[in-house]
Structure 1
Amino acid sequence: MDYAKLFRLDGRGAVVLGGGSGIGREAARALAAQGADVTCADRDLGAAEETARLAGDSAKAYRLDLLDTAAVERAATELGEPDVVVLTAATNVRKRLLDYSREEFDRVLSLNLGATFDVLRSFGAGMVERGRGSIVVFSSIRSITVEPGQSAYAATKAGIVQLIRTAAAEYGPSGVRVNAVAPGVVETPLTEPIKADPEWYRAYAEKSALGRWADAGELAGAVVYLASDAASFVTGSVLLVDGGWTAVDGRYVPPGA
């Protein structure tokens, strides 16, 4: 094995779903930097085009609404034969269960879990047929630990873990790997409401061992790792990139410690 090229993705095609902003944008840039030919797919074509511009000359943009199952199926055909598929898109409605409506619940499940199901099936089918590929889906620390107001979101992120594990078991014999990344708190458009509240923002920062939030770019390394030959024997795994949140959650520092 050539360890100097362990993380290189030269000659491989990568599709980043939700690549118009946040973690998706940084993942697309990182994959391109390692030599992949990247397609940035997003419902907002303008945002996808900006990501493609940032990622470099070989990157291109593609408009895709992940809530449209037929569109996901078309994308799996129209985008060629990708070696890497990354799904970062997600939504959240922060409300306590007794305040939640069924419409809001269904909205969160449709994107977070429903789109994951569609992507695993549509893109996974081609990878299984070709006998190679890596799929990376974003879960969350909320698949492990919750707080008031996170019911639907946490349920979907836990569901994603079991979906990718099942896909890993079913696709593995064909040489296809499926893994998840579970971030902690990250500076993205999805977390804007928290960032707008200084006390809330500080409280989340203090929950991690590193005492701060992550920048979206700090998740890109996990994506490159799971996409590359460096993770050739890694499948069905959940890679926590949470600054130590789940390691120290609920900690108490005794006097004098």
Structure 2
Amino acid sequence: MSDPAATDRPDYARLFRLDARTAVVVGGGSGIGRESALALAAQGARVIVADRDRAAAEATCAIGAAAGQSVDDAPGWGDLESYELDILDEAAVQRAADELGVVDALVVTAGVNVRKRILDYSGEEFDRVVGLNLRAHFDLIRAFGRGMAQRGRGSIIAFSSMRAVLVEPGQSVYAATKAGLVQLLRTAAAELGPSGVRCNAIAPGVVDTPLTTQIKSNTEWANAYAHANALHRWAHPSELAGAVVFLASDASSYVTGSQLFVDAGWTAIDGRFDPPA
């Protein structure tokens, strides 16, 4: 007996494949951005590695090219191309959206944090964190989201943080921008959803990146963070790449307006103390 739903069922063997699609990874020159770019390319996407550091973007492309050549039986790696982009320059962001043409997925990993208590924060530091973590994302969503809406498809993925819901002393402005980014993406999901554009956030826990160098340099601090989650360890940037591929691919075709936590259970458990009973 034939399955009446068979004609609507996707090819599950290729559910995560991104062949013939273009992804732009902002901040792709290092850390989570680099691993995201490599993972997307491994699924067949043409990846534009955008970073204000052109040399770092080119290094990501070189790593991807070498990895693609070393795998003979893979379904096929996509090409990686470097693109110099300062997302604090609104005109440059719009120019990138115009020059890069059809973009199926926009992944934004760039971010900054100034760890200071509120009474010690300066106005300049506030503006710097808000400028990159929120305003620049706003500009990227507008610039790339417009073309996606016109074409009737697209996926916008940005990185919030577990700090969007859990705070600690010294994280005021960073946490505020990450919570604001989630609401910005949710609103974009509501506004662009009828045009076929999905918008989602990924919220990492503690990840070994340049942004967390200050913590990693303090053994007591680093160990405390490791033991605050259920897996009792830090994440490698590569462990965030799977979430990026999921949200960029058809595997998440019905997912929008969501925040996906990749935090080893930090937000699910107390984590600070293991009671005797």
TM-score, normalised to structure 1, is 0.98
Partner of residue 22 from structure 2, selected from 8, 13, 16? 13
Greater than 2 Å deviation, 4+ residue runs = 249-254
Percent identity over paired residues = 68
1:79-228 to 2 correspondences below 5 Å: 79-228=100-249
- 1:154-207 Cα offsets, whole Å, 9 max, x none, are 000000000000000000000010000000000001111111110010000010
Alpha-carbon deviation of 1:250?
5.2
User: Aligned partners of 1:183, 1:254: CA distance in 2, in Å?
Assistant: 26
Q: Does 1:231 align with 2:252?
A: yes
User: Aligned partners of 2:110, 2:223: CA distance in 1, in Å?
Assistant: 25
Contact 2:16 2:251 survives alignment (8 Å): yes
- 1:95-135 Cα offsets, whole Å, 9 max, x none, are 00000001000000000001110011000000000000001
User: Aligned partners of 1:117, 1:7: CA distance in 2, in Å?
Assistant: 27
1:15-54 to 2 correspondences below 5 Å: 15-54=24-63
Matched with 2:99 is 78
User: Aligned partners of 1:197, 1:140: CA distance in 2, in Å?
Assistant: 21
Alpha-carbon deviation of 1:252?
3.8
Aligned residues: 256
User: Aligned partners of 2:15, 2:272: CA distance in 1, in Å?
Assistant: 37
Alpha-carbon deviation of 1:249?
3.1
**3-state DSSP class of the match of 1:119?**
helix
- 1:127-149 Cα offsets, whole Å, 9 max, x none, are 00000000100000000000000
Q: Which ranges in structure 2 are unaligned for 5 or more consecutive residues?
A: 1-9, 66-77
**3-state DSSP class of the match of 1:135?**
strand
Residue range with higher mean Cα deviation, 38-47 or 55-64: 55-64
2:36 maps to amino acid:
A
**3-state DSSP class of the match of 2:241?**
helix
Alpha-carbon deviation of 1:54?
1.5
**3-state DSSP class of the match of 1:25?**
helix
User: Aligned partners of 1:141, 1:35: CA distance in 2, in Å?
Assistant: 30
2:127 maps to amino acid:
D
Contact 2:227 2:272 survives alignment (8 Å): no
1:237-248 to 2 correspondences below 5 Å: 237-248=258-269
Contact 2:27 2:109 survives alignment (8 Å): yes
Q: Which ranges in structure 1 are unaligned for 5 or more consecutive residues?
A: none
**3-state DSSP class of the match of 1:214?**
coil
- 1:40-92 Cα offsets, whole Å, 9 max, x none, are 00000000000111122711000000100000000011111110100000000
Larger Rg: 2
Partner of residue 64 from structure 1, selected from 80, 85, 89? 85
Residue range with higher mean Cα deviation, 149-158 or 46-55: 46-55
2:109 maps to amino acid:
T
RMSD of Structure 2 on Structure 1 (CA): 0.9
TM-score, normalised to structure 2, is 0.91
